A and B are shown apart, each in its own frame.
Chain A
Amino acid sequence: MSRYLIRRLLQAIPTLWAVSIVMFGIIHLAPGGPMAIYAMDPNVDQAELDRIEERLGLNDPLPIQYAKWLKGMLTGDWGLSYKFGRKVTAVLGERIWPSIQLVAASLIIALVFSIPLGVLTALYRNRFVQYVSNAVAMLGVSIPTFWLGMVILLFFSVRIRVIPSGGMMSIGVEGFDLGDRLYHLLPPAAVLATLHVAGWSRYVRSSMLEVIGQDYIRTARSKGLTEQMVVYRHALKNALLPLITLVGLQGGRLIGGAMITEVVFAWPGMGRLLAESLSGRDYPVLMASFMLMSLLVVWGNLVADLGYGFVDPRIRLE
């Protein structure tokens, strides 16, 4: 097990390295760039421009810039944000925590809704239930999340004013207030969850159907257990195993996927930071955000594999 873990961690290194090269290349080879902003200012002359370029290290050849960046990244010096003038680590540190809250909340909401929905549609196999569940699942994957967010804001914030119009805390609230945080967190988290409720409930349903047909379920029934016991103690446990993989795989991607929802709900997370750094050509922040998001994806994949092996001893990780 630990050998497997070590090998997987070692495998992640070339992946992340390749990601860093691809992203560094794309970001730095692109036309425009941070200097364009200074160049537009008539008060900045060429000599000043050269000095700025020198200071930012942007006049070095690309491989040298990359080597410097890589060294900084590995030694914990992620550079200064062009836009905020502060350390990238500090800027990211502020933004990643709200993102994690949002993602965690939406994962919980998705699980709370998709598991019962999947179980119910597997147990009640009449046409009507099938149709409704099919339609709900289809709607969930077909409605653009950002539009769903806009519509929810329109009805619940503009019209009947039960949810806030965005942001992370109410004006006047100081420090951390759980009630106020949840009040702001729930709408975007719920919107973000819809996509997964649709997919996961279908998944739970088909895996439940598979488990229900197996011999040990018949044994459980024939020894006189109540249907409830059979479904929840015997069947559900096994039916949920494949879901772990799915949650791991998709959970890791969610910080990147939450971006648009963050923009719509003005949630001060990584996604919005990325959108802001992009318009300001904030290279250090862009690179760091991409590395962080990729790291989370790789980590999610690993958790998916390990988690599966952990809860299902039949799976041998080698």
Chain B
Amino acid sequence: MAQSETVVTLKTGVLEPAPGRGESVWRRFRRNRLAIFGLGIFILLLLGAVGAPWVAPFEPDTISYDFLAPPSEEHPLGTDDIGRDELSRLIYASRISLTVGMCVSVVTVAIGTVVGSLAGYYGGRIDAWISGGINVLLSIPMIPLAMVLGAFLKTNLLFVVLILGLLSWTGTARIIRAEFLSLKEREFTLAARIMGASDLRIIVKHILPNTMAPIIVAATLQVATAILAESALSYLGYGIQPPTASWGNMLQNAQRFFRTHPMLAIYPGMLISLTVISINFVGDGLRDALDPRLRHP
């Protein structure tokens, strides 16, 4: 038998320190092209919204005698029925959508985290009551209920955020509750309890940090859902009211000139879709990057 020689090549170089958690998440996120694409679009939209006064060629509410004008050098996307510059209105409307989306997300995460933690940590009767309440809320169709509230309350930005926030925290609460149910049985929770930590301390310092991944993902996807809900509500006339431009109420307005000026109805919808899709890509990417176990096959 011939003796086989084993050749071992060693890579030389300096050992890099193990990347931190944030860094490795970013590395995994970066590899997902769709997520990066989504993030890029979202940042562009955000910049446009923040810099609206500089980006938009006109004030969104300035009327002119150019009714329903076709695209021109002055008005790149034409004007609407009372001569307002369509492009400027679209840009300003993105402020509404992004604000509603992000604020609703904050509200739902806040309520959902508190309610979900209480239900999951304490279990028993508290859990039964909370889960029962969630079931009640879930059995009322959301858009119709939001419409009723929108019809009866004031429909400004704050109320739209509150209405949508108060109606959509149930999903987050369920996720957090499920996480707590499993995490509270783990050794580290027991260890903390043995060391005499209070319930509040165990919940906030020991369990909550471990639920960050699903919270971040849920919060991101909630931004997209809220933007869709706001546009639907405004389209039906129970959300953001004209003259304040929102993509939803621009669609409602455009419907009257649908046959003659279809593009007025196309633009806002395209922007809603683009915004929502970019956020959904980011959310999906975050899910894969934050917790590889959650990756859907």
The interface of chain A, by Cβ under 8 A from chain B, is 14-16, 18-19, 22-23, 26-27, 30-32, 134, 138-139, 141-144, 146-148, 150-151, 153-154, 158, 202, 205-206, 209-210, 253, 255-257, 259-260, 263, 271, 274-275, 278-279, 286, 289-290, 293-294, 297-298, 301
Chain B: CB-nearest residue to A295:
B139
Contact with A along B121-134 (1 / 0, CB 8 A): 00000000000110
Structural contact, B140 and A23, CB atoms closer than 8 A: yes
Supposing A259-B144, A260-B236 touch, asked if A150 and B258 sit within 8 A by C-beta, the answer is: yes
Structural contact, A26 and B149, CB atoms closer than 8 A: yes
CA distance A293 to B142 in the complex (A): 11
Structural contact, A30 and B143, CB atoms closer than 8 A: no
State which of A142, A259, A271 has its C-beta within 8 Å of the C-beta of B277. Answer: A142
State which of B140, B148, B277 has its C-beta within 8 Å of the C-beta of A286. Answer: B148
What does DSSP make chain A's interface, helix, strand, loop or mixed? Answer: helix
CA distance A2 to B297 in the complex (A): 38
CA distance A148 to B34 in the complex (A): 23
What does DSSP make chain B's interface, helix, strand, loop or mixed? Answer: helix
Cβ of B290 < 8 Å from any Cβ of A? no
CA distance A15 to B149 in the complex (A): 20
Structural contact, A142 and B149, CB atoms closer than 8 A: no
CA distance A139 to B280 in the complex (A): 10
Structural contact, A151 and B280, CB atoms closer than 8 A: no
Cβ of B53 < 8 Å from any Cβ of A? no
Structural contact, A209 and B297, CB atoms closer than 8 A: yes
CA distance A281 to B148 in the complex (A): 10
Taking CB atoms, residues of chain A closer than 8 Å to B255 are: 150
Q: Which residue among A23, A206, A275 has the maximum number of chain B CB atoms within 10 Å of its CB? A: A275
Structural contact, B262 and A158, CB atoms closer than 8 A: yes
Q: Which of B128-171 contact A (CB under 8 A)?
A: 132-133, 135-136, 138-145, 147-149, 151-153
- Shortest beta-carbon distance, B33 to chain A, in Å? 9
CA distance A14 to B228 in the complex (A): 31
What is the number of contacts between chain A and chain B, taking CB atoms within 8 Å?
133
Structural contact, A143 and B236, CB atoms closer than 8 A: no
CA distance A242 to B224 in the complex (A): 26
Structural contact, B141 and A31, CB atoms closer than 8 A: no
Structural contact, A150 and B141, CB atoms closer than 8 A: no
Structural contact, A154 and B258, CB atoms closer than 8 A: yes
- Shortest beta-carbon distance, A82 to chain B, in Å? 15
Structural contact, B148 and A27, CB atoms closer than 8 A: yes
CA distance A255 to B280 in the complex (A): 25
CA distance A244 to B141 in the complex (A): 21
Q: Which of B95-113 contact A (CB under 8 A)?
A: none
State which of A150, A202, A271, A294 has its C-beta within 8 Å of the C-beta of B140. Answer: A294
Structural contact, B265 and A150, CB atoms closer than 8 A: yes
Structural contact, B259 and A263, CB atoms closer than 8 A: no
State which of A146, A210, A256 has its C-beta within 8 Å of the C-beta of B235. Answer: A146
Taking CB atoms, residues of chain B closer than 8 Å to A22 are: 136, 140
Cβ of B55 < 8 Å from any Cβ of A? no
State which of B141, B259, B276, B280 has its C-beta within 8 Å of the C-beta of A293. Answer: B141
Taking CB atoms, residues of chain A closer than 8 Å to B149 are: 26
Structural contact, B138 and A206, CB atoms closer than 8 A: no
CA distance A260 to B255 in the complex (A): 14
CA distance A279 to B151 in the complex (A): 8
- Shortest beta-carbon distance, A23 to chain B, in Å? 7
- Shortest beta-carbon distance, B80 to chain A, in Å? 16
Contacts A/B (CB < 8 Å), 10 sampled: A26-B148, A26-B152, A30-B153, A146-B232, A147-B231, A151-B265, A154-B258, A257-B141, A260-B236, A297-B141
- Shortest beta-carbon distance, A239 to chain B, in Å? 13
Structural contact, B269 and A151, CB atoms closer than 8 A: yes
CA distance A30 to B155 in the complex (A): 13
